Chain A
């Protein structure tokens, strides 16, 4: 007997788990039961037959939801990083279509709070991008349907290495009367696709926590470089782009996160243009095109500016002029 019970439990594993996790019989399904009796009819000597049907049962909606944080080890960030995204999965573990209210909050008791917390619904690629949708209304999920949700926040610029911001995402059934009701409570007049009402499940609200953690603050020095057209003068004193127009380019170079050594800025003059001889300047100082006499070395269309060591946060402006052929 014991063995049978055990086997039954094993075989029923799927069913047992359905009560707590996966979806069961759809809300609105009708359960019908008929018993039939046969007997030896004493008056006719034949087999008599009779049957009886119990009142049908319409399955109520069972409201359950599961929230799971996908970043179990948190997300490593840097101070000042914006739009950092923590991934969650929200699953309707009930048996009917249900709307869930989502709420994301910074938890207390940790060392950091993320700023500008917002909730986004993934567009299906599983990566937080600009095409994801800001969640401003309840999330509607069919039974057993899942959605990927990003909780997005900004890391304060003053954050320190090792500081952690715990963020909790909560999904709560939006059906009126569910909030605050004990599991098993029947909410009459509610329930998707069933006249039997909605039953508050053991997880009509669920939440999970993930976190941002500030990693080792990056100290690798890098160079920011930009190039813009600062001005142009055409042969007639105007600013049209015609043959003979001289264009002044401004290249700005800045060392960030520390000083850099052996910095060389290279630029190639476009095919349809010619460098104006000895037009290159560094921070306003004129340089020659000849190799070896100063920082500037021109070879055909290639301009090389050897800046060497540049201290942190130092900005150098390089200008050069080229004429449209």
Chain B
């Protein structure tokens, strides 16, 4: 069993040419600054309790020797959390959302069917976030995308 687990962990980095991912979790804390503004800090993900914000940062890298096109990253919103509006970002990527995990749209186009009626989706409805890189990823090129959730 341990051998199997190790193999699975190694697979993304060794078996496929192209892109590999890494995902990290942080506790997001908003702290007031000396000049009165508020700054968002991403800290170690300890003492996470209901109401706290978690930031996820997914780093991608082209581990191959050729440019890779069509890079698409999907990340379902974890159980017990809700997506925080406007928190998803990623340079040179188009961000869309889904309330069912299959159909994606921008937030303003996203709709929810509820009790037989269609209404605009809210952040709370978001089940999956998708980033599509707008340009092919050059060899050794890296970047990241991120989003935040709040623990229910």
A and B are interacting partners: yes
Q: Are A37 and B73 in contact (CB under 8 A)?
A: yes
Interface residues of A in 256-298 (CB under 8 A from B): none
Give the interface size class of chain B.
35 or more
Contact of B80 with A11 in the complex, beta carbons under 8 Å: no
Return the chain B residue nearest A185 by Cβ.
Answer: B47
| B25 and A54 form a contact (CB under 8 A) | yes
Q: Which residues of A contact B76 (CB under 8 A)?
A: 34
Residues 1-39 of A at the B interface (beta carbon under 8 Å)? 1, 3-5, 7-8, 10-12, 15, 18-20, 23-25, 29, 31-39
Instruction: Point out the residues of chain B lying under 8 angstroms from A199, CB to CB.
Output: 47, 49
- Tell me if A91 counts as interface (CB < 8 A to partner B): no
In the complex, A19 Cα to B124 Cα: how many Å? 15
B49 close to A33 (CB less than 8 A):
no
Mark out the residues of chain B between 1 and 57 whose CB falls within 8 Å of any chain A CB in the assembled complex. 12, 16-25, 45-51, 54, 56
**Is A15 in contact with B82, judged by CB distance below 8 angstroms?**
yes
Task: Flag if A31 contacts B48 (CB, 8 Å).
Answer: yes
Give the residues in chain B near A171, CB-CB below 8 Å: none
In contact, B18 and A48 (Cβ under 8 angstroms)? yes
Can you name the residue of chain B whose Cβ is closest to the Cβ of A7? B122
A149 at interface by CB-CB < 8 Å: no
CB–CB B66/A42 < 8 A: yes
Contact check, B75 vs A35: say whether CB atoms are below 8 A apart.
Answer: yes
Could you tell me if B69 and A25 are in contact, using CB atoms closer than 8 angstroms? Answer: no
Q: Which residues of chain B from 87 to 116 have any CB-CB distance to chain A below 8 Å in the complex?
A: 107-108
Task: Looking at the assembled complex, report how far the CB atom of B8 sits from the nearest CB atom of chain A, in whole angstroms.
Answer: 10
Q: Given A39-B19, A41-B17, answer yes or no on A62-B66 (Cβ-Cβ < 8 Å).
A: no
Sample of 8 A–B contacts (CB below 8 Å) = A11-B122, A24-B49, A38-B70, A39-B19, A49-B16, A50-B20, A59-B48, A95-B50
Residues of B at the A interface (CB closer than 8 Å) are 12, 16-25, 45-51, 54, 56, 58, 60, 64, 66-76, 78-82, 85-86, 107-108, 120, 122-125, 137, 150-152
Q: Interface of A with B (CB < 8 Å)? A: 1, 3-5, 7-8, 10-12, 15, 18-20, 23-25, 29, 31-44, 47-55, 57-62, 95, 184, 186, 196-197, 199, 201
